[in-house]
Amino acid sequence: MDTNNLISKQQIKETYQSYTEYFNEIMKKVVEKLQNNIKLSAQPTYKSRVKSFDSYYKKVIRLKPQKVTEKCDLIYLTDMMGIRMICAFLEDINLAVEQIKNLFEIKEVEVKGAEKKFSEFGYESTHVLVGIPQEFIPPLTGKYENLKPISAEIVCEIQIRTILQDAWAEVEHELIYKTEFNPFDIPLRRKLASINASLSLADITFQEIRDYQNKLQKEIDERRKAFYNQADNLLTEKTDKKEENIARVSPFVQGTIDDMLLRAIQAHNEGRLSEAVEIYSKIIEAVPQNQKNIIAVISKHRGMAYFAMNQFEKSLEDFETSIQNDPKAYRSYYYKGIVYSVQKKYDMAIECLTKSLEINEFQAHTTFRRAIAYFEIKEYEKSMKDLDTALKLGLNPDEASTLQEKLVKIFGMNL
């Protein structure tokens, strides 16, 4: 090596540090673009950093030792700028990668740690190397006028991890890379491997729970939609309701209350209403009486099943039980109001719908149902006011059109 041409560590440090603010400005723009455009089930959090000089220098000596003997303004590495995107669930990682592809030019995607066994150190994370758009690169003027153009293409590394993967990475860095770790310390290796495996299993379990919740919510949404459709049919005296067999199969072990609830809702959605009521009833019998929130929820579901069977009195009893166990159960008040509307007991319907809105005023459909009830008792001004409010809250104008036409006609006649 020609030591006469050797660049000192201090020279490299001074050059490197002169670009720190420059790189931070670029990363800030990248993070802002990610924050504004990445849409996941739970919004990720972001960390960003310019690589520390000590870490940078070690890598330069290892990967580009020839550069140290050359006259170079900046020895550029692809991971000098790093952004970490921290997601809630494993499924978010692939979703994030696909969305990043729509935002930046992708240079490389690498899943690090995937090839390692649980007996080895390391934890998975997905690294995406992106090109920096020209408009994100500050001009070398003003405070940057002393910097020289970077000869290499400017890129940024985005690491995508779950919360648990990020926690492991932080602790691993302290335990291994910042200390003199003895790789032959077998008991310590086993402890670290055990933690690694536990965190991996926890991530998988969290994802399974998430998948279960998504499936359950999908079934609940289907059942709620069917309830509204039947209510509309009954209110307009259309009783020729056809059953739709959705034919879903649950992959979950049957036995827990959650599993029984999913089975009941599936039976409910598929039109097997007696079976749904039977399962709901078994859940209520199995739940301790002090578990009021659970009883409130299951009673509400069973009430909806009874409603689908046109057993309105039993439906009302269950909705009332739900309310007694959870006075804030605004949906139970809402469903109770719909039953009263079907029975043409409009004053009682208005009372229930009003109580629902007192608990949660941001309900377009509840406000709309009350508008219909007001119309039926000839309280036209109140009906119009509720209809306007429902539309402002996001009610589909097509749903409102029939009532709107009736009200316009009545107010036109009174002019």
In order, the DSSP letters of 250-307 are: --SPS-SHHHHHHHHHHHHHTT-HHHHHHHHHHHHHHS-TT-HHHHHHHHHHHHHHHH
- Considering only residues 225 and 288, tell me which one the structure prediction assigns the higher pLDDT: 288
pLDDT, tens digit, 9 for 90 and up, residues 316-375: 999 999 999 999 999 999 999 999 999 999 999 999 999 999 999 999 999 999 999 999
Contact at 8 Å (CB) between 326 and 306?
Answer: no
Instruction: Work out the pLDDT band at 181, boundaries 50, 70, 90.
Output: low
Measured CA angle at 370 (ends 368, 375), to 5 deg: 95
pLDDT at 343: 92
Helix orientation angle between 330-342 and 186-235, rounded to the nearest 10 degrees: 20
- Considering only residues 256 and 169, tell me which one the structure prediction assigns the higher pLDDT: 169
pLDDT, tens digit, 9 for 90 and up, residues 19-55: 999 999 999 999 999 999 999 988 899 999 999 998 8
pLDDT at 221: 72
pLDDT at 33: 95
Q: What is the pTM of this model?
A: 0.55
CA distance 359 to 391: 19
DSSP code string of 72-120: -S----TTSEEEEEEESSHHHHHHHHHHHHTTS-EEEEEEETTT--TTS
Amino acid identity at 263? R
Contact at 8 Å (CB) between 156 and 127?
Answer: no
Residue in 231, 238, 227 with CA at minimum distance from that of residue 276? 227
Total residue count of the chain as it appears in this document: 415
> How distant is the alpha carbon of residue 120 from its chain centre?
32
pLDDT at 152: 85
Select the highest-mean-pLDDT range: 165-169, 182-186, 336-340. 336-340
Residue 70 has pLDDT above 80, yes or no: no
Q: For residues 214, 227, 261 and 88, what is the CA-based torsion angle, rounded to 10 degrees? A: 20
What 3-state class would DSSP assign to 155? strand
Phi, psi angles (nearest 5°) of residue 238: -100, 100
Residue 111 has pLDDT above 60, yes or no: yes
**What's the mean pLDDT when you consider all of the chain?**
81
The total of other beta-carbon atoms located within 10 Å of residue 379's CB is 17
The DSSP bridge partners found for residue 129 are: 108, 157
pLDDT, tens digit, 9 for 90 and up, residues 132-148: 999 999 999 999 998 88
pLDDT, tens digit, 9 for 90 and up, residues 246-284: 333 333 334 566 777 778 878 877 888 899 899 889 888
Contact at 8 Å (CB) between 400 and 391?
Answer: yes
CA distance 246 to 80: 53
